[in-house]
Amino acid sequence: MTTSKIPRIARVRAFCQQGATSNQGADCHDVDDEHWLNCGLAPIATPMSCYDQYKAARKSWGINALGTLAVEIEAEDGTVGVGVTIGGEPGCFIVEKHLSRFVEGQDPRNVELMWDQMFRATVNYGRKGLPIQALSAVDLALWDLLGKLRNEPVYSLLGGKTKDRLPVYCTTARPDLAQKLGFVGAKIPCCYGPSEGGEGLQKNIEYFRKWREQVGPDFPLSLDCYMSLSVPYVTSLARALEPYGLKWIEEYLPPDSYEGYAQVRSNLRGSTVMLTTGEHEYTRYGFQRLLESRCVDIIQPDITWMGGLTEARRVVAMASAYDTLVIPHGSSVFSYHLQYAFPNCPLAEFLNLSPKADSIVPYFGDLFPDEPLPKDGFIDLPDKPGFGVTLNKENLTRPYPRSDEESRRQALQNLKQPPLKKASFPF
């Protein structure tokens, strides 16, 4: 008996969506001016808060400059897999002009091979940031395609479910409303950074204390600092908020400040406040440094940014060896399938993207009309193949189209690759 035949990959397409809309797509920050994520309800500290010109609104310094990148990978039989990330038109160029050559003509089951070739081929200008985000979208589209070809959800491809239901907390400017909506906890933004001095520090403390009084003593409440603080500042802030039941303090330093994270861990030794980061970290190499130093209790990779599902499962496995929890940043279904498949992913994040944080709306806006949404504190995935969502291309454009003939020529380069004839010692 032979195994079932899997069609090869025929073509890769990359689309972008740019410009702030009320339906932000894959860029959660590409929102209307008055949105709470753009400081519409309260200030939000960022790495740019030290400049008066840019501290009043996050979009003023271009947090949404790139916009959505969506990738379609089509098999020979017409089946299409979809992956998304941030990357916009520059990301489309990378996918169409560079990464596609490692995918077209390949067996879609060879996700490890394609990931390795894409990563190695972009090392000279990649390793982190935009190239890895583009790679992530391609990788996610491959997993979606493979799930559809096998008629299985992605979590089944990863080994099946390790939990019956996945609880969800909410990132929001209104933790009181998150509590009423049934979320198991909430996370609010830190309002002020070190440039506001002692007065700003006291305002941060009062802001957190106010919300603690609103939600009561037993509702888990965390603080997101978005790379905006310093070692002395976060040490003082965490100590001041500990009596108010701060569950965790998140991403308080720039992502490359590995020694700084280690110093904060040392400074807060014995504190009940958990330390977390990783939203803006990339690949297993970056997460290895965080895990080996044991500087955080939780890592928070964004699956659509850090290298896709292929790299994320490596990071999750590596984290389990350090007894470190993995609670991915946002990324909706792309995170949920991973989290269902691994026991050290006990909780999901839902970023509330309604402008006033008062209702549950899709994380990806109108990009996926069938995106599953949390209800009563859980996210339950439908029994659909792949990631279980359908791409709405109404507002997407393909800035660097390639002809079917161009895709066919690239595919032939992979199809014609002869097998090795002579074995040799490989190292």
Q: Which residues are catalytic?
A: 329
d(CA 287, CA 284): 5
Question: Distance between CA 239 and CA 264 in Å, rounded?
Answer: 11
Cα 36 to Cα 248: distance, rounded to the nearest angstrom: 21
Main-chain phi, psi angles of 179, to 5 degrees: -65, -45
SS3 of 4-19: the string is CCCCCEEEEEEEEECC
Query: Measured between alpha carbons, how far is 86 from 65 in angstroms, rounded to an integer?
Result: 10
Q: Which of 135, 140, 237, 250 is nearest to 192 (CA)?
A: 237
CA distances from 41 to 31, 357, 388, 419, 421 (A): 14, 9, 34, 60, 66
User: Cα-flanking dihedrals φ and ψ of residue 252, to 5°?
Assistant: -85, -15
Beta strand 186-189 with 68-75: parallel, antiparallel or unpaired?
unpaired
Show the tokens assigned to 85: 């990330």
Distance CA 55, CA 13 (A): 37
Q: Is the separation of the CB atoms in 204 and 229 below 8 Å?
A: no
User: What 3-state DSSP class applies to 166?
Assistant: strand
Any residues with CB less than 8 A from the CB of 244 and at least 6 apart, and which? Answer: 208, 209, 212
CA distance 330 to 364: 10
Q: What are phi and psi of 124, to 5 degrees?
A: -65, -20
In eight-state DSSP terms, residue 386 is: B
Query: How many Cα atoms within 13 Å fall on the side-chain side of residue 309?
Result: 32
CA distance 39 to 226: 13
Residues 6+ apart with CB under 8 A from 127: 282, 283, 285
Residue showing tokens 């339950």: 380
